[in-house]
């Protein structure tokens, strides 16, 4: 599939924003975050800013962005519509959570409940995003059990790394946050390796014989190409990524997205044990930046390595 920059930006930014909202709501509910004005303002502004920027970027992929609102009406059958509805609904508890924290200096009691609801709504939105792809049966590399957990874990990972930066920036106790970040990176790494192993060792059941229904007659092969020049299907669904480039990009994604953030987060833990707050902040920033680069490359690969079943009609031996 052709990797669209707008969709890559959308999934990367909103994933980090929703992931940060999840952790803010959970940590506040368990009394692990002080109701400090500056911290609350910056943390919630960053989370909601990333979410909003990502949602706006997603409209660039639409032929008529002004009609995007119509997609919300199909929530009964469309995961894309459900994602839009959940994205808008998540603003309500997140906004109330922000009001209590920023304007009233409270992130406990009823305000903590709003934070928990915002956490659930954020996770549900990311779940819907993953299901948009996991529900597409013609794309075997998306329609599998690894996709949704991968989306959720990468969102939690990037959100935890951002929270770790904020805690160090305000010189707040962040022992729990760095522990969560390390575990989230490890879980995301394991999920991504599992996904790559799955797509490398499996393929779609569809073949030219099964797609045309002519398999009972004999071997089925393409006689003439359906088109004499490139068309929309070949451009969008017939995007081909050379194996050597895929392997190289996977190494970059794994190194920048998981190995470096994991090692740097361990460095943050070590710096904290020595009381070196400045070093901990610098390492936390590097971990988040490295993860952002790695996740962007991983997301590009997620689309670039996907194969649509329609390509069986253009000569592909198997989808």
The predicted pLDDT at position 154 comes to 97
Q: Please provide the DSSP assignment of 55-101 as one string.
A: HHHHGGGSS-GGGGGGGGGGTTT-HHHHHHHHHHHHHHHHHHHHIII
Contacts of residue 59, Cβ cutoff 8 Å, sequence gap at least 6: 6, 65, 68
The predicted pLDDT at position 171 comes to 85
Phi first, then psi: give them for residue 139, nearest 5 degrees. Answer: -115, 95
Q: How many other CB atoms are there within 10 angstroms of residue 40's CB atom?
A: 25
Q: Tens-digit pLDDT profile for the chain (319 aa)?
A: 677 888 999 999 999 999 999 999 999 999 999 899 999 999 999 999 999 999 998 887 766 666 667 777 888 889 999 999 999 999 999 999 999 999 999 999 999 999 999 999 999 999 999 999 999 988 889 999 999 999 999 999 999 999 999 999 998 866 688 999 999 999 999 999 999 999 999 877 777 777 677 777 877 776 666 676 676 666 666 676 656 788 899 999 999 999 999 999 999 999 988 888 889 999 999 999 999 999 999 999 999 888 887 777 676 656 6
CA distance 10 to 80: 13
Contacts of residue 226, Cβ cutoff 8 Å, sequence gap at least 6: 313, 314
Q: How many other CB atoms are there within 10 angstroms of residue 305's CB atom?
A: 21
The predicted pLDDT at position 73 comes to 81
The predicted pLDDT at position 12 comes to 96
The predicted pLDDT at position 133 comes to 94
The token pair that represents 279 in the structure block = 């070093």
Contacts of residue 280, Cβ cutoff 8 Å, sequence gap at least 6: 168, 268, 271, 272
Phi first, then psi: give them for residue 308, nearest 5 degrees. Answer: -95, 140
CA distance 313 to 64: 29
The reported pTM is 0.90
Any idea of the CA torsion for 161, 163, 165, 167, to the nearest 10 degrees? -140
The predicted pLDDT at position 72 comes to 79
| Strand, helix or coil for residue 112 | helix
CA distance 203 to 185: 28
The predicted pLDDT at position 63 comes to 66
Under 8 Å between Cβ of 105 and 35: yes
The predicted pLDDT at position 118 comes to 98
CA distance 258 to 136: 27
The predicted pLDDT at position 203 comes to 78
């Amino acid at each position: 599939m052709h990797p669209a920059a707008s969709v890559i930006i959308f999934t990367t930014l909103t994933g980090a924003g929703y992931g940060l909202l999840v952790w803010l709501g959970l940590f506040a509910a368990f009394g692990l975050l002080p109701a400090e004005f500056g911290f609350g303002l910056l943390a919630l502004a960053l989370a909601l800013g990333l979410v909003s920027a990502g949602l706006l970027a997603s409209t660039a992929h639409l032929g008529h962005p002004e009609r995007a609102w119509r997609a919300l009406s199909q929530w009964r059958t469309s995961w894309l519509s459900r994602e839009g509805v959940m994205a808008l609904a998540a603003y309500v508890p997140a906004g109330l959570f922000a009001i209590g924290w920023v304007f009233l200096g409270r992130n406990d009691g009823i305000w903590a409940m709003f934070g928990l609801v915002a956490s659930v709504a954020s996770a549900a939105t990311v779940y819907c995003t993953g299901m948009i792809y996991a529900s597409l049966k013609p794309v075997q590399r998306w329609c599998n059990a690894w996709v949704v957990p991968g989306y959720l874990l990468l969102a939690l990972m990037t959100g935890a790394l951002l929270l770790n930066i904020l805690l160090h920036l305000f010189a707040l106790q962040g022992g729990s946050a760095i522990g969560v970040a390390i575990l989230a990176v490890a879980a995301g790494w394991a999920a991504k390796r599992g996904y790559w192993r799955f797509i490398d060792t499996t393929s779609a059941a569809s073949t030219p014989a099964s797609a045309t229904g002519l398999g009972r007659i004999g071997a089925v092969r393409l006689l003439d190409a359906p088109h004499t020049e490139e068309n929309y299907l070949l451009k969008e669904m017939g995007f081909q990524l050379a194996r050597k480039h895929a392997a190289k990009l996977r190494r970059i994604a794994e190194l920048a997205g998981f190995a470096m953030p994991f090692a740097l987060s361990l460095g943050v833990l070590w710096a904290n044990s020595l009381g070196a707050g400045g070093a901990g902040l610098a390492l936390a920033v590097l971990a988040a930046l490295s993860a952002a680069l790695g996740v962007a490359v991983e997301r590009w690969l997620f689309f670039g390595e996907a194969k649509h079943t329609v390509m069986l009609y253009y000569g592909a031996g198997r989808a």
